[in-house]
Amino acid sequence: MKLAIGSDHAGFEYKEKLKQQLSNQHEIKDFGTYNTESADYPDFAHPVSAAVENNEFELGILVCGSANGVAITANKHQGIRAAICWNEELASLARRHNNANILCLPARFIDFGLAEKVVEKFIKTDFEGGRHATRVNKIIC
């Protein structure tokens, strides 16, 4: 699977660890940031979102302190359904019911071991379609 990944400074450490682990099984493109210096989350959320929206990548992962900033930014893109997930059940529901295509992780609120499990669940879960597709199709303005 082709995955786009990005973070601000607060999510940098998690992004780097996730990138390293995921690269064993997936094609990964890192859209930054590339260090822990203060950075603006839209500078990374927009390129990840555009890459997923344009079907260059199947899914995206964005990491910041609360996940709110990257989720708000990503969801400005018409073809993006970014979901903040802090446990495996939310990751599964985001994929199954909402066809979420970008996972947003709150690095300051979950430990890395849980973040790994959330990412795995998000990647491995498929969209159910059916009645959920009808709802998802009503999202675009």
CA distances from 104 to 11, 33, 34 (A): 10, 15, 18
Mean pLDDT, the chain, as a whole number?
Answer: 97
pLDDT tens-place string over residues 2-58: 999 999 999 999 999 999 999 999 999 999 999 999 999 999 999 999 999 999 999
Q: What is the mean pLDDT of residues 112-135?
A: 96
Say whether pTM exceeds 0.95: yes
Domain residue extents for the chain: 2-136
Please give the pLDDT value at position 92. 98
Q: Which residues are tagged catalytic?
A: 64, 97
**Minimal CA–CA distance to 31: which of 50, 12, 44?**
44
* CATH architecture of the domain with range 2-136: 3-Layer(aba) Sandwich (3.40)
Q: What is the DSSP string of 76-132?
A: TSTT--EEE-SSHHHHHHHHHHH---EEEEETTTS-HHHHHHHHHHHHHPPP--THH
